[in-house]
């Protein structure tokens, strides 16, 4: 490591220690030329990959947005917020472990479906049936919101047979 004060390339490490979690290494260095001291930190470079949509646009992975989409699919289903958060955490950990700078949105969609399948079958079907027809996970929320906002046309309800999917897909 080059000395930040005089530019000498031969600095010496005088002390090395890890933090408690072992994920940061701190090194004290000394420049033999100008005798100045400085500290460097070494960390694992883990970054969330960008999500590449089918249209080629890139977006940041957004934990809250993804949790929101999953909550929408899980609307009125007996699944706790905690369980959804844990599922999003697993997806996030999985994406991190890929070590890729970017991943296709389809791959994220598959991970979401896998988690929803474990959480709740109805939510899984809701998500899958909408998602399969649309390009990206964040479009899923847009489509669901659109469907929910659409005014109901004079549809004949058959009493005694409420269909929970009506609310979601309006068909």
Point out which residues bind Zn ion (CB under 5 A).
3, 5-6, 8, 31, 33-34
Distance CA 65, CA 60 (A): 10
Q: How far is the CB of 33 from Zn ion (least distance, A)?
A: 5
Distance CA 141, CA 130 (A): 10
Q: How far is the CB of 38 from Zn ion (least distance, A)?
A: 9
Strands 24-30 and 50-52, sheet pairing: unpaired
Q: How far is the CB of 1 from Zn ion (least distance, A)?
A: 11
37 near 56, Cβ under 8 Å?
A: no
Closer residue to Zn ion, CB minimum distance, 8 or 18:
8
Q: How far is the CB of 27 from Zn ion (least distance, A)?
A: 16
Q: How far is the CB of 40 from Zn ion (least distance, A)?
A: 14
Length of the chain: 171
Closer residue to Zn ion, CB minimum distance, 3 or 112:
3
Centre a 10 Å sphere on the Cβ of residue 74 and count the other Cβ atoms it contains: 23
Closest CA to 25 of 52, 53, 49, 1: 1
Closer residue to Zn ion, CB minimum distance, 24 or 34:
34
Closer residue to Zn ion, CB minimum distance, 28 or 33:
33
Closer residue to Zn ion, CB minimum distance, 3 or 66:
3
Written as one string, the DSSP assignment of 12-73 is EEEEEEE-TTSSEEEEEEE-TTT--EEEEEEE----PPEEEPTTS-EE---HHHHHHHHHHH
């Amino acid at each position: 490591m080059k000395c930040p004060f005089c530019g000498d390339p031969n600095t010496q490490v005088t002390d090395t220690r890890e933090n408690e979690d072992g994920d940061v290494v701190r090194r004290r260095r000394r420049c033999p030329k100008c005798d100045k001291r400085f500290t460097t930190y070494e960390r694992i470079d883990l970054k969330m990959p960008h999500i590449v949509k089918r249209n080629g646009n890139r977006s940041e992975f957004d934990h809250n947005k993804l949790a929101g989409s999953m909550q929408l699919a899980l609307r009125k289903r007996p699944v706790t917020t905690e369980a959804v958060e844990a599922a999003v955490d697993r997806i996030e950990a999985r994406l991190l472990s890929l070590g890729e700078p970017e991943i296709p949105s389809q791959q994220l969609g598959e991970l979401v479906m896998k988690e929803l399948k474990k959480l709740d079958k109805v939510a899984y079907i809701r998500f899958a049936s909408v998602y399969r027809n649309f390009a990206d996970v964040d479009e899923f929320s847009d489509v669901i919101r659109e469907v929910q906002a659409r005014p109901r046309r004079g549809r004949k309800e058959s009493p005694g047979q409420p269909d929970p999917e009506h609310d979601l897909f309006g068909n």
